[in-house]
Amino acid sequence: MKLAIQGGNPVRKTPFPAYNPIGAEEKVAVNRVLDSGCLSAFLGCWDPHFYGGTEVQALEEEWAKYFGAKHAISVNSATSGLYCAVGASGVEPGHEIIVSPYTMSASATAPLIYGAVPVFADIEEDYFCLDPKSVEEKITWRTKAIIIVDLFGLPYAANEIREIARKHNLIVIEDCAQAPGAMYGNRYAGTLGDVGVFSLNYHKHIHCGEGGVIVTDSDDLAEKMRLIRNHAEAVVEDKGHRDLANMVGFNYRMTEVEASIARCQLNKLENLIKIRQENCAYLSEKLNSIPALKMPKVRENCTHAFYSFGMRFSEKLAGVSRDRFIAAVKAELPPTILREEEGALLGCGYVKPLYLAPMFQSQIAFGSQGFPFKGSHYSGKANYQKGLCPVSERMHYQEFVGCELMRPSMTKEDIDDVAEAFYKVWESRKSL
């Protein structure tokens, strides 16, 4: 059978259904806010409205209860949440923070906001989260915190990382943008470190367009993050907050409209995760017979939220490169509604290891003199050379395949078409 990439007929032409968890409930909630006339109630001074309006505070209470955290702090993005967490942790210029090279850039650039230097540890081969052994190897006396990522929906190696953090007196900031609802034992991802950060960006499991939520059980960290969120420098005196370190505030506030939508979305999370897990189990079963593909692994005593269905590809077993093979599969499949410009939602690699980006290669962030990588404040030497994290580089350039064609909008019949495309290419791979 002639492959579509060579001019043959594709397996499917009809677009895959859109993933859109917004429904009637959100419309009612938004109208409730619009009818109130209050789209945001935040004030950037010490006042009862310093903590925001009715919807914002209700979301925070409901989020904390759902995830079993003492505090929840809404923000306008998960990126802002990471910035709040780093500032609250007491990071100073010259400190180092261990980060992942294989994640969205904000997880690694957050230290820079406070003049700290990101230090990249490598990832686990099977789970794609930070490798505890590599983390410990990168710790120095300058290390202040670890920013860990629950990549693709799987919780990180929490027991091992927490033990390392305790031994070295480090703060653990968990980037849970891709894993809301995943479990590590009887605890939710996002609550496994000192601070957890969730995303409500439009392509996450649940969303309100843009937005994020931070959780913590620490009263001290919660207070500092609320201050950083909302013009700390204008509030600390009247509030009586004495610790002024990193109390330069921002406007990271969520609107009432966003909060009202997020409250509705939170009620849908459990069912949406269940459908993802069922679809991924079905897709794994369908693709498991292709020798060159290794299906996603789930860490022991964990559940997976499957932001993405992350496979590993063996060029040796396939006899063709990953990029060529996946290009052929993509040609057999249509785009997804609302994301038509992206083609079939399959990808080779995830993000180029972040230390290879121009910022790190040139060691230029703030100003032109190399701050914070260079200067009298920093006694270390930043290392961002190619080869620094060999597992991350191998995954990105040779092995990792990401698939989003398992979202709750996808039916079993849709997934059958995805599997058929993979098998068609597998059986005709020698022609590539």
Residue range 314-328: average pLDDT?
98
Q: Annotate 266-280 with DSSP letters as a single string.
A: HTTHHHHHHHHHHHH
Average pLDDT of span 248-263: 97
Label residue 185 by pLDDT band (50, 70, 90): very high
| Chain segment 29-81, per-residue pLDDT in tens | 999 999 999 999 999 999 989 999 999 999 999 999 999 999 999 999 999 99
Query: Which tens digit of pLDDT belongs to each residue from 73-117?
Result: 999 999 999 999 999 999 999 999 999 999 999 999 999 999 999
Cα–chain center distance at 100: 11
Phi, psi of 197 (to 5 degrees): -125, 125
Q: What's this model's pTM, rounded to 2 decimal places?
A: 0.97
**Nearest CA-CA partner of 199 in 224, 218, 181:** 181
Instruction: Please give the pLDDT value at position 122.
Output: 98
Percent of the chain with pLDDT over 90: 99
Q: What are the CA-CA distances from residue 266 to residues 152, 200, 370 (Å)?
A: 19, 10, 42
Cα–Cα distance for residue pair 72/197, rounded to 1 Å: 10
In the chain, pLDDT over 70 holds for what percent of residues? 100
1 confidence band (pLDDT: 50, 70, 90): confident
Q: Provide mean pLDDT across the span 375-380.
A: 95
pLDDT at position 166, please? 97
Q: Where are the alpha helices (DSSP H) in 48-157?
A: 54-67, 78-88, 106-109, 132-137
Residue-wise pLDDT tens digits, 277-293: 999 999 999 999 999 99
d(CA 197, CA 204) in angstroms, rounded, equals 13
Task: Write the single-letter amino acid at 170.
Answer: L
Q: Residue 122: which of 391, 387, 312, 384 has the closest Cα? A: 391
Alpha-carbon span 333 to 330, nearest angstrom: 5
Q: What domains does the chain contain, in order, with CATH numbers?
A: 25-267 (3.40.640.10)
What pLDDT, on the 0 to 100 scale, is given for residue 271? 98
- Give mean pLDDT, residues 383-395: 97
Q: Residues 113-130: pLDDT tens digits?
A: 999 999 999 999 999 999
Nearest residue to 269 via CA among 148, 173, 188 = 188
Res 74: pLDDT:
98
